[in-house]
Amino acid sequence: MSQQGKLRVSVLFLMVTTILLMGVQARAQVTSTSGSGTMSFGNFSWQVDRAPITTTLNAVAGFNTQPPGNFFQFSPTAASAFTVHEVHGTFSITEWTTFSSSCGNGSDIVQVLDQNGNAIASVKLQALGPGTANVPIEGTFSTPLSVSSLTIQYNDDQCGNVTLALSLVMS
């Protein structure tokens, strides 16, 4: 092999090695926590993914009857504290029961709160009979929130079965 050929192979080897090393170093470490539970009136599950810049929260709650006092909450845990400047995502409601005049018109209020009770995201959802509604969430905080713990609250006065889901990316 000529001197020029050896030089080309060496340069190519160095470029490939550099690209591979940069790719390995560029991977963000994501730490996930999750949980679930079952109650007499339904069930819930959640997952929090913590990355260096973003925190993703996914949660689902299903109620087959109204919770006691129409209220239910749980506290998902994040692997570490984080700061919220912006929030983006979706809240969804799926009503499984056919609307009837005896049942009336119900609604659900879902809130994601920080350790001080500050609302990171909140929505009132309403469904009349079987169907699904999705509500996009987008917000920017003029003063960023330092979050060390989360609470998800549900105020449910729907008749029959309802599934409430949320997916939020906070950065």
Domain residue ranges in the chain? 29-170
List the pLDDT tens digit at each of the 171 positions of the chain.
555 544 454 444 445 445 554 554 555 689 999 999 999 999 999 999 999 999 999 999 999 888 999 999 999 999 999 999 999 999 998 888 776 666 655 689 999 999 999 999 999 987 777 888 899 999 999 999 999 999 999 998 877 788 999 999 999
pLDDT tens, position by position, 102-115: 665 568 999 999 99
Burial class (CB in 10 A: 0-12, 13-18, 19+), 141: middle
Candidate CATH numbers 2.40.50, 1.20.1280, 2.60.120, 3.30.530; the one for domain 29-170 = 2.60.120
